[in-house]
Every structure is written in C-alpha cells, then in structure tokens.
C-alpha cells in the first residue's frame, strides 16, 4: 500500500464500529475507492483495545451489533473476547483489512479549497488526500490520566484500563484502582478475589442496577442465526430500552420512584455494612451519570481484602511506593490501575482540523463542541464526524446512533455525486438552529438537572455528549435529508 499523497474518494479515520459502518455503507452505495486510516497496529477499535479483566458490553448484544450483521451471541451481554471475535467477523466478511492502513496516526487534516480535497497528514504513513473525510476516531478512544501529585514518581507498575498490560501478573499483589465508573465496575469484581489487597479510589459513586444477563442455550443460538428472529429480538430489546428516555427526559417522578427505588433496593440487598452503603449511595438523580449494570460489584466492595475510599478519603499524593490519602493514610502498592476515563467532550477530535476559512474546529468549538446532527460543521466541507457532539446515548446501543448517522452521511455524499458538484457544507444558520434546539431540549433532561458532574458535560457546562431525546427521533432526522440546509459547490 502506498504511503504518501495517495488519493481516495473517501478516507475514514478509525477502524472501530464507526469506521466499519461507514465502509459497509460506502460499499452499499457502490463506492469502493475508500481507505481506513487506523493509528494502531491492529484493526477493530473499542473491543480490540479494551482487554481489561471483566470487559463486557452493557447493552444487550443482539442490539449492540450492526443491524445488517446478526450474530449467534453466546450470552445476552457479550464479553470482550466475543465482541472482538464479532468485530473480526465483520471486518473479514467485508474485506476491510485490505482497505485499512495501520499505524497511520492522523496528526492534522486541512481542506484545500482550490482542489476541493482534504489533506490528511499521518505520523508515519505520509499524507493522504480525499474528496470526503469521515472521522470515526471514537468518542472513548483517547484515555486520560489526571495529573495526580507525584504520579510519575511511583516505582511500581501502573497502566490505564484502556492499555491493560497482560504481561503483569496482579495475583497476590497490592493494587489500587483509581475511578469507579463503568470500566472499574467490571475490573473490580474480576480481580478482587485474586489480589492481596484492593484499594478503590472513588470520586463519585454511580447508581448500580441488577444485570439481567442470560447465557443462550445451543438451540437458542441456532435461532439467533435466523434473521427474522434475530430482528424480532433486537426490536424487543430496542423498545424496552427506549422507554427509559421517558424517565431521562419527561418524568423525574418515574426515574425516582421506579429506577432509583430499584437501585436503592440493590444496595440494601447486596450490602449490609452501613458505612459501605453510605459510600456507594449517590447524591444525584439516577441516570444523570451512566447507570452501571452489575450483580458482582457490591459483593466485591464487601470483601475483606477490598477498601473503598470515598471522596473525603481521596488521593492526596502518589509516592514512590503507593498513595497517601487526604486523611493521611499510607497505602503501599505494587500496581495502580487508572480507570480515569477518556477525553470525551472538549477533545472529541484529538488532532487539528483546518477548514475552508483557515480556522480550526477547535476555534469553532471554542465555547463548546457542536455540529448539525452531531455530524457536520459550517466551513468544513465534505467532513463528517461519527459520534460527534450530542450523539451519545445512555440508554441504548451506540451502534444504533452510528447507523443513523450513516443514513445522513450517505445521503449527503450521494447528493454531491447526483448534483455533479464537488462539495457539500451545512449552512451556518441550519447548524445554529439545530444546536439551539438540542440545548433547549437538553434543559429538560436528567443530564442537565440531575445534580451531577459527569463526562457528558463540556467545560462550558453544556451537556455535549448526549442526544436529548428518543433514538428513533435522531434516526428520523438523519433519514430526512434536508437539501435546503446545505450548500453545494
């Protein structure tokens, strides 16, 4: 494969489900001249990268899968190895490996208005050019470790859950995990029985609900191979999850009286110690942060070799040998696991993107990230952002939204081809109206009013990760391509 100034009609950045869906849809349109640029030395995104112990999806797999690619899942909530297998199945079926340039870490992209092309600079593979650019670099792809005082002085082992070092044997070791979100909630119960001591540093507790997992019997798995049955199960799961939006947006009463009550019962059923109960009980409305599904997390908190440090006993300093807490306790450690999340909001695209007028997306997003249908931005022609601002969804599969964005992206590309033009750009007033409406609607949601600080919010306080409504509304908007909201040249 050539490595410098190669031209393709479409370049896709990222080979996760976003990149895969883009590629599959381009093929469906008859566009074969595309290339996927992937910064890593393997294809696949989230489920090939996140191999930490206990990693699993928290949306039922028949729904958390590409609609056109059913799979005979072994359980309702697939674990990482099966999700990785599924990813490879999709990549192989659509022959995407040969369409992917690995080790191509995109460092800068710039629109050339004369040539009506994107110039895409990578770190090790030279520069590529394309008419259309689809950024699918992932909403949760760039891990973040806060700069704790003394972090670099620690002489033991440390890594982020996103970069789990499997060559390190944690059994019998003194381990700390910093963070208590979705990944930590999966790591903790998996490693707790094997380590000598596990100290968990939690900034804010999450609401936890029971996890209705189910292992499919062999005959049920063979039924999953029957497309109409798979579709029926998928539809059933979809609608059962979609009703949650009523609580998130329209009925605080329903959230508090139904979901929160159930979550409180979960605490009471699984934890006897009043001090641990106090530490795990959030002080904000359920749904404001991502709800964790787990039947094993609370029992892990109650183990003799596990200590849960809440905010008032947080991290004062990391030393050569461990952590000193704000209460002055010394915690000697062999391993520190950072489960401290991702650059998910303000840094949603990690490299500079320079548009038609010479200014960057960073400039446009100075106040907060925003985009029409979470996908297109004025003055950035032929650029499409998969899982862009306000496309996150707390209650259902992220892949459903990715596939909805594809409805818009393919229609937009097709409209350029059909009109014989070279580029398409969303009009500033259309983007402005869309964004204004999104944030108006957001004011009604628990993400805005639930009384929590979460990664859903940008520094400005705007909730920019979530879509404030039903996922079928987003799908409908994406399918209804409005030519009048765009300009062509």
Ligand X SMILES: Cc1cc2nc3c(=O)[nH]c(=O)nc-3n(C[C@H](O)[C@H](O)[C@H](O)COP(=O)(O)OP(=O)(O)OC[C@H]3O[C@@H](n4cnc5c(N)ncnc54)[C@H](O)[C@@H]3O)c2cc1C
Check residue 141 for interaction with ligand X (CB under 6 A).
yes
**What minimum distance in Å lies between the beta carbon of 120 and ligand X?**
9
**What minimum distance in Å lies between the beta carbon of 196 and ligand X?**
26
Classify residue 283 by burial, with Cβ atoms within 10 Å: 0-12, 13-18, 19+.
exposed
Check residue 474 for interaction with ligand X (CB under 6 A).
no
Check residue 353 for interaction with ligand X (CB under 6 A).
no
Check residue 245 for interaction with ligand X (CB under 6 A).
no
**What is the token pair recorded at 309?**
């440090």
Closer of 127 and 321 to ligand X (Cβ): 127
Check residue 12 for interaction with ligand X (CB under 6 A).
no
Check residue 405 for interaction with ligand X (CB under 6 A).
no
Taking residue 159's Cβ as centre, other Cβ atoms within 10 Å add up to 16
Instruction: Map the footprint of ligand X across residues 155-214, applying CB under 6 A.
Output: 183
Task: State the DSSP H helix or E strand holding residue 404, giving kind and residue range, or none if neither.
Answer: helix 398-419
**What minimum distance in Å lies between the beta carbon of 153 and ligand X?**
28
> For residue 246, what is the DSSP state?
I
Largest CA distance in the chain: 69
Instruction: Map the footprint of ligand X across residues 259-298, applying CB under 6 A.
Output: none
What are the E-state strand segments in 170-312?
A: 174-178, 197-201, 208-209, 292-293, 306-309
Size of the site for ligand X (CB under 6 A): 34
Check residue 106 for interaction with ligand X (CB under 6 A).
yes
Check residue 25 for interaction with ligand X (CB under 6 A).
no
User: Hey, what's the torsion of the CAs at 69, 74, 79, 82, to 10 degrees?
Assistant: -50
Check residue 50 for interaction with ligand X (CB under 6 A).
yes
Check residue 388 for interaction with ligand X (CB under 6 A).
no
How far is residue 78's CA from residue 48's CA, in Å, rounded to a whole number?
A: 13
Check residue 64 for interaction with ligand X (CB under 6 A).
yes
- Closest of 265, 282, 245 to residue 447, by C-alpha: 245
Check residue 345 for interaction with ligand X (CB under 6 A).
no
Among 37, 198, 306, 354, binds ligand X (CB under 6 A): 37
Check residue 66 for interaction with ligand X (CB under 6 A).
no
**What is the token pair recorded at 55?**
């990693």
How far is residue 122's CA from residue 4's CA, in Å, rounded to a whole number?
A: 9
- Closest of 406, 421, 404, 409 to residue 470, by C-alpha: 404
Among 54, 62, 70, 138, binds ligand X (CB under 6 A): 138
Question: Among 36-44, 151-159, 433-441, 450-458, which window interacts with ligand X (CB under 6 A)?
Answer: 36-44
Residues in the site for ligand X, rule: CB under 6 A? 13-19, 37-40, 45-46, 50, 57-59, 64, 104-106, 136-141, 183, 350-351, 386-387, 397-398
């Amino acid at each position: 494969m050539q490595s410098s100034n190669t031209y393709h009609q479409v370049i896709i950045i990222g080979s996760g489900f976003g990149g895969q869906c883009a590629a599959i849809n381009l093929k469906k349109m008859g566009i074969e001249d595309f290339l996927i640029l992937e910064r890593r030395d393997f294809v696949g995104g989230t489920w090939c990268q996140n191999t930490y112990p206990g990693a699993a999806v928290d949306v039922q797999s028949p729904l958390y899968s590409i609609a056109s690619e059913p799979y005979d899942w072994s359980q309702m909530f697939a674990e990482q190895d099966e999700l990785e297998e599924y990813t490879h199945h999709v990549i192989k079926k659509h022959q995407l490996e040969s369409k992917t340039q690995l080790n191509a870490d995109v460092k800068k992209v710039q629109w050339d208005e004369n040539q009506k092309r994107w110039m895409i600079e990578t770190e090790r593979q030279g520069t590529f050019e394309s008419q259309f650019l689809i950024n699918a670099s992932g909403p949760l792809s760039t891990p973040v470790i806060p700069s704790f005082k003394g972090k670099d002085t620690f002489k033991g082992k440390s890594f982020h859950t996103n970069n789990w070092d499997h060559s390190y044997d944690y059994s019998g070791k003194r381990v700390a995990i910093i963070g208590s979100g979705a990944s930590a909630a999966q790591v903790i119960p998996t490693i707790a029985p094997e380590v000598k001591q596990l100290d968990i540093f939690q900034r804010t507790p999450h609401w936890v609900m029971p996890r209705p997992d189910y292992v499919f019997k062999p005959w049920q798995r063979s039924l999953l191979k029957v497309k109409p049955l798979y579709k029926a199960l998928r539809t059933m799961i979809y609608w059962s999850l979609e009703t949650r939006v009523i609580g998130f947006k329209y009925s605080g009463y329903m959230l508090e009286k139904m979901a929160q009550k159930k979550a409180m019962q979960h605490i009471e059923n699984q934890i006897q110690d009043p001090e641990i109960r106090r530490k795990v009980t959030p002080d904000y409305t359920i749904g404001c942060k991502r709800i964790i599904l787990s039947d094993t997390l609370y029992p892990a908190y109650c183990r003799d070799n596990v200590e849960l440090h809440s905010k008032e006993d947080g991290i004062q300093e990391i030393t050569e040998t461990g952590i000193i807490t704000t209460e002055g306790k010394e915690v000697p450690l062999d391993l520190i696991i950072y489960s401290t999340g991702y650059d998910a909001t303000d840094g949603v695209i990690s490299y500079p993107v320079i548009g038609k007028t010479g200014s960057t997306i960073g400039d446009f997003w100075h106040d907060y990230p925003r985009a029409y249908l979470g996908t297109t931005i004025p003055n950035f022609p032929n650029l499409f952002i998969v899982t862009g601002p306000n496309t996150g969804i707390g209650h259902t599969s992220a892949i459903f939204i990715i596939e909805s964005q594809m409805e818009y992206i393919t229609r937009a590309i097709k409209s350029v081809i059909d009109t014989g033009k070279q580029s398409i750009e969303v009009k500033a007033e259309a983007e402005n109206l869309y964004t204004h409406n999104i944030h108006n609607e957001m004011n009604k949601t628990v993400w805005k009013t639930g009384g929590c600080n979460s990664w859903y919010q940008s520094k400005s306080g705007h909730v920019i990760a979530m879509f404030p409504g039903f996922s079928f509304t987003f799908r409908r908007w994406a399918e209804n391509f409005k030519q009048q909201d765009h300009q062509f040249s």
